[in-house]
Each structure stands twice: as C-alpha cells, then as structure tokens.
Amino acid sequence: MSDLELQQRKVLNLFERVSQPFSPKPNITFEFPDFVSDWVFLQSPTDFSPKPGLVPPGSASTDGLNIPELDLVKTIPRGRLFSNFHPGHREAAYTLVKIFKDVPTVAGMLNLAAHPDVRDAVNEHIFVYALSAALIQRKDARSLRLPPIYEIFPGKFFETKVRSEAQTSVQQQKEPAIKQPIIIDKNFAATNRVVENRLSYFREDLGKLHNCFVYIVRKNHVVHFISQGINSHHWHWHLIFPVEATGEIINPPDRRGELFYYMHQQILARYDAERIANGLARVTSYHDWDEPIIEAYFPKLTNANGAIHWASRPAGLVLKDINIPDEGVELGIEFQIQNLELWRTRILHAIHKGSVVKANGEVVQLDETTGTNTLGELIEASQWSADKLFYGDLHNFGHIAVCYIHDPDRSHSENMGVMGDSVTAMRDPIFYRWHKFIDSLFQQFKATLNPYTAQQLTLEGITVNNVEVRRNASPNNPGLNPPKNLIITGWQESIVELDRGLDFSSLRPVQARVTHLQHEDFFYRIQVTNSTKTTQEIVFRIFLAPIADEAGRPFSFREQRLLMIELDKFVVRVTPGANRVKRKSDDSSVTIPFERTFRDLEAAAPATPLAPGGVPTDLPTDRMTNFCGCGWPDHFLVPRGAPNPGMPFTLFAMATSWEEDRVVNGEDTKKLCRNAASYCGVLDEKYPDKRPMGFPFDRPPDKMMTTLAKFVEKSPNMKTTEIRIQFEDRIIRRFPQQ
Ligand code: CUO
C-alpha cells in the first residue's frame, strides 16, 4: 500500500462511526508522532489505554495528550449538537482546525486525530468539521478525499426510524443476506396536508446518483460517482468559507462576502422556481420578528445512537430573547431580539449613507466594486466585518434565535432546531424566509447603484442570433428526435449506504433507497456571429427564470431578475463569421457532478499522487478533477417544472468579453475545485470573473426597462428563448449526451 493509499484509508477510518470509540481497521496503524510527547506536560483527563492499531512512539508517555487548547475544544461535550452559527461552538471548532493544521505533516495530523484524547474525547461534530476543514485547507493534503457528509452523519439526513429499521435488519439477517434497502419516504417530515411539504423534495434533498455516472477509473476499479445533495452543498460551502480565520488563513478567500450574498441569493431564486412550479407564492421575507412564524417544522432527526434529537418548531412561535446559561453541557449564549433590530438599523443606515465605518473610525465606501463584499462580511457577520461590535452578528444570530425559539433559555433542556447547523438548516422553511430578509438588505444596496450602462451591457461585433436547448435521442429510440426547448424532469431512485455512520456495526452494507429529483441531460446550442476581423474569446452567461407567477401573471423585469438562476458560465473562441456553440448541461459552472462514497474511496484509494494543482494523473477526463465537495448538485441543475405541457421559462444567454472579464490567476488552469466556480469560487485563487456576481441581473435595470425583452433588444450580444420544463411523476433514466 502506498503512503497515499494508507493516508486515504486513515482518513476514512477516522470518519467512520464517529460517535463511537475509535477502532483502527486491521492493517492500519496510527503511530503517535514524537511531537505528541512534547505536548504532554500535565495529567491528561483521558485515561489512555493502548489498543491494537494505536501505537505510542517509543519513548513517549502513554498518559495521554495535553494540548492546552484542547480544553477549549472540549467545552462542547461529545453527544451534543453543534452549531457553526454559534460563536462559542465556532471557537471550539476553529481551535481544533488550527491544532490539526499546525501539525507539520499530514501523516502526523492523522495520527494525532486518532489519539484517544482527540478522536474519542472531542465532540464528534466538531471533530468531523475540524478534520474536514484542515484537510481542505492544507495544501499538502489535497490528494486526500473526504467521504460524503450524509454517510458520516446519516442522522442529519434520515428520519429516526431509519436507524431502528437498520438495526432490525442487521439483527435479523445473517451473512450472506440479500441486500434489502430501507425505503426512505421522500415526504417523511409531514403529510401532504401541509402545503409547505410540497417542497420537501428540495429542502430535504440528499440526492445520489448511483447508476448513471459509472466510470472505469483504473484497471479493475469501477467507481460510482455520486451527486451530492443540496444540504451537503450548503455544509461544504460554510466549511470552505469559515466565518473566522482558521490557522494561517488570515485573509478571507477572494470576494468571500459577495459569495455569501450570491450563493444564498441563488438558493432563493431556485427555491422560488420550485415554489411556483408547485403552485405556491414566492418566499416572503421574515423581517417582522414580533410576528408568529406560521410555518412549522418537525425534523424527525436524531444523532447516531438516537439519543439526541433536533427540536421541532410548532406553528405560531415568536422569537424571544435568547438567554442560554452555560450549564456545563454546552456553551451559553445571550442576546436580545432588540440587538438584531439595532444591528439591522445600523446596517440599513450604512447602506443608505453609502459607507460603513470601521472600528478605528476609517470610512469605507460601499462602491459598486467592493460594496457587496464589504456588506456580505458585515451582515453574515464574519471576522472581516468592518466593525463587529457596532454592526453586530445579524445573520448568524438569526439562525441561533430561530433554532432556540422553542426553548430560548433552555429551561426545558431542549436541543436546538435544524436552523443551528449548516448541514440541516435548509430543511426548514424558515431558512428561506430568514435568508430572504438577509437578501433584502443586499437588494437595498444594489438599488443604490446606477443601472448598468449600454457600454457595460453590450459587446461590439458580437451578435447572439439564437439560443436553444436540445436533448439527444434516447438510446432506446435512436430515430426519434426529441422536441427542442423542452427539458424533462422526473424522479430517480438511488442507494445510500448508512453503516459507516451508525452506532453499531454490520458485516454487510446497510443500505437505504432514496428518491430524488433528476433531469434528463440536455445541451445548449448557441448561434453567434463574430463580425470583427479576428477570433474573439467570449464568456457566455446562461440564466433561466420562470415567466409567470403561480397564478399565471407574467413577471415584470424587476421581479424576474431576482428569479434568474445561473445555469452556466463558460468561455469559447469564436472565429470571424457565423459560429455554432454547443455546451453540455453536465459541464455547468455551478454544479459538481459527483461525490465518492466511503466504499468507492476505499476501493479506489489514490495509488499515485496528484499532479501540481490537484489533477489526478491517471484519470481519463478533466471532470474527475473536482473532489472539493462544494457545488450545486447536478441533479438539481434545473427546477422541477410542471406536468405536461410543462412550465414556461425564459432561457437567457449573454456574451461578454473574456479579455475584459478574465481574472489573472496562476498558470495552472486545472486547479482543484474549479468546476463549481460560480457559487464556490476556486480554491486558493481569485474568483474567476471580474463582473459582479449575478451580472447582468444583480442590479435593478433602468426604469424604462419594464420587460426582459426591452432589456435584451438593446444588446445584440444577448438573446432569450422560451423553453418549457416538463415534470413527469415517474422514475426517469439519464443517458449521457455526446
Ligand atoms: Cu448558509 Cu444562513 O448562511 O445558512
């Protein structure tokens, strides 16, 4: 086994059954490095008894580990829920990230992670968060892959009864039993009498594709590539863009605050499209905090051993001041709803004055280049907020206030609700209403900017003559050409393996079958004329938006621009004269196509190091380069649409100049985690587009532009087409497009 394979197996081993005491696998030895003994200078709180696979270094004491900062990490005990919106929880988690990152080598870090004073003593959610963050952030760990979060913590994705069904199935069946997956009801959180439950396929999406993307990676090794779900994406996004500096990350990732705005704005646009498709009104902002929350949410989730549940929120609760004492079981937190109101007022004041004031009195203008980013850091609020004391912690404390709304002083000893954890927050309807309020602050800022000028919107010499979507003929009906401008969606069933995240072991895989949305693959065909005399590199920006609301009333352009969903952004060369551009849907710049499971990672542990920049040297296609985990799930690239004859959407394409928009990064254009750059940026690099995120729809247009058609007719480099998305309430199969 190569060093790299060994390290990959150690990562998987460490993430397996994290709520249970650590058990090294046969053939894997974690040898505590010598530096551990340097840190042992006090009695350890943990009784360390060596066990097979855990080997202390020759001369080191076996008394245990005492890194002073570990005391801070352990302020959140094992078995408790973890909130990355809670400043105390974050501090504990980031402290462990730093401890991991400070270990000189990856091998040393993994060995340290296995130490009983870490793996078995630290809160399991914090352990997973910190080791994942360290593995992503360490440049020397880029060859290693993280298993999917839903396999590490199935309790955050599947209802409680799935665990007991799994246990029963393990007890009843003897090896070699036929695998009988547990069926997950896609509407498990509520009945169809709850109208909001029409959207549960979106909010509670896990999403896996087990059958459609199968590539032979290496001789004798077949790997299933699995699309992550919406909730996994959200977890990865917050993992990659932490609220505070961790370790040597002193400066925030490029345009971090703007990405906070844009990624969440796009979630809202996508959610609204799903709501309209289901006959519901667009999501409303939750800004009147005296108003009862009418949407209830009962998550039915528990941790691995079923002992701790995420709290429910019945309809009609009102936000209360939060006053949670530090009871020794988790860190306390105290703030008042009037703090949120004060911070909102100060932020709005800054927006309308056009500037924020730093703690040292320096005035920072909210200009059109950096204003959104400055506001993003301020509103979220991150360490890079201009003045966290003055502008507060609005967004994060909103999550906290809602997640403790049912027991705001914990006098009933209840746990938090799902809004407290970035893995689970998107399950709750109130997430979207809270973020609609957050987005409204950004939109108020955008409204202070001048509309884009004709010069900013046009591209001399380039005319987009037509844009359309097409599908290839089905392999079953090769002679039948599908109609153009029609996208088909439906359901797909996929298999999820649960056993690595349960609190009991099984000799065979414990599987569950989930049903999730899927779309047939399609491609864009764009006809573009280059009337200049030279070849041009142009950026195509592709968006999609519903045409009318749930009652069939057509949207004005001011409404529709907020519903624009970015589908893709890519660069092409166009020669003088007429050009035809084809682009496949699964190459989208917003999605990642797959994620690899524990089992796949074990079967195909990397045998060779990655080339500089993280590109596997022996994989057949550049689509394999994405393992970072952040990216919108491919199976949700387009909204569900409506049954026959489908739901009408506007497809929009715009060409801009790559010469003007490009951002000069390093020479290596195949950097890790580039595939989903639109919502996730590029790891270690600048955001690869100079234009504001969401351009050209991020600002209100000139008031004369009352319809999208008027906006487009002034710019030959833009084109729209009406398409339909037709939902078929059946299991569909995807087939690759050539
Ligand atoms: Cu992603 Cu509020 O920021 O959940």
Q: Using alpha carbons, list the distances in angstroms from residue 499 to 227, 602, 681.
A: 19, 14, 33
First to last CA, the chain: 37
Residues 6+ apart with CB under 8 A from 314: 296, 406
Distance CA 564, CA 270 (A): 8
| Å from CA of 736 to ligand 1 middle | 34
pLDDT in tens, 249-304: 667 889 999 999 999 999 999 999 999 999 999 999 999 999 999 999 999 898 76
Q: Which residue has the higher pLDDT, 450 or 609?
A: 450
Q: Which tens digits make up the pLDDT trace of 378-409?
A: 999 999 999 999 999 999 999 999 999 999 99
Residue 380 known to be catalytic: yes
Of 132-146, 297-311, 505-519, minimum mean pLDDT range? 505-519
Catalytic residue among 380, 497, 566, 685: 380
CA 422 – ligand 1 centroid, Å: 7
State which of 264, 377, 418 you would mutate to test the pocket of ligand 1, scoring each by most atoms of that ligand within 8 A of its C-beta.
264
The counts of H helices and E strands in the chain are: 22, 20
Q: If you measure from the C-alpha of residue 481 to the centroid of ligand 1, how many angstroms do you get, rounded to a whole number?
A: 43
Ligand 1 atom closest to Cα of residue 380? 3
- State the pLDDT at residue 223: 31
Tell whether the model's pLDDT for residue 671 goes beyond 60.
no
303 vs 691 pLDDT, higher one: 691
Look over the chain and give the mean of its residue pLDDT values, rounded to a whole number: 84
The confidence score (pLDDT) of residue 57 equals 53
What pLDDT is attached to residue 734? 66
Q: 380 CA to middle of ligand 1, Å? A: 8
Atom 4, ligand 1: residue with shortest CA distance: 422
In the predicted structure, residue 124 carries a pLDDT above the cut 90: yes
H-type helices in 406-516, by residue range? 429-446, 454-457
Quote the ligand 1 centre to 427 CA distance (angstroms): 12
In ligand 1, the atom with minimum distance to the C-alpha of 396 is 2
- Could you tell me the distance, in angstroms and rounded to a whole number, from the CA of residue 423 to the centre of ligand 1? 10
224/511 Cα distance (integer angstroms): 15
In testing the pocket of ligand 1, which one of 83, 422, 439, 440 has its CB within 8 Å of the most ligand atoms?
Answer: 422
Instruction: Please give the average per-residue pLDDT across 77-99, as a whole number.
Output: 93
Neighbouring-strand partners of residue 488: 726
Which of ligand 1's atoms lies nearest the C-alpha of 267? 1
Q: What is the mean pLDDT of residues 183-190?
A: 63
Highest mean pLDDT among 299-313, 318-332, 634-648 belongs to 634-648
Q: Flag whether pLDDT at 605 surpasses 60.
A: no
Lowest mean pLDDT among 421-425, 501-505, 646-650: 501-505
Yes or no: say if 278 and 199 are a contact pair by the CB < 8 Å rule. Answer: yes
Q: Residue 606 is encoded by which pair of tokens?
A: 């990397």
CA distances for 454 relative to 47, 540, 700, 717, angstroms: 71, 18, 14, 11
**What confidence score (pLDDT) does residue 182 get?**
67
Q: Tell me the pLDDT tens digit for each residue of 327-383.
A: 765 678 999 999 999 999 999 999 999 999 999 999 999 999 999 999 999 999 999
Per-residue pLDDT tens over the stretch 330-342: 678 999 999 999 9
542 within 8 A of 568, measured Cβ to Cβ? yes
Which of 32-36, 348-352, 595-599 has the lowest average pLDDT?
32-36
Q: Ligand 1: which residues within 6 Å by Cβ? A: 234, 238, 264, 395, 399, 422, 425, 435
Q: Nearest Cα to 698, choosing from 426, 369, 424?
A: 369
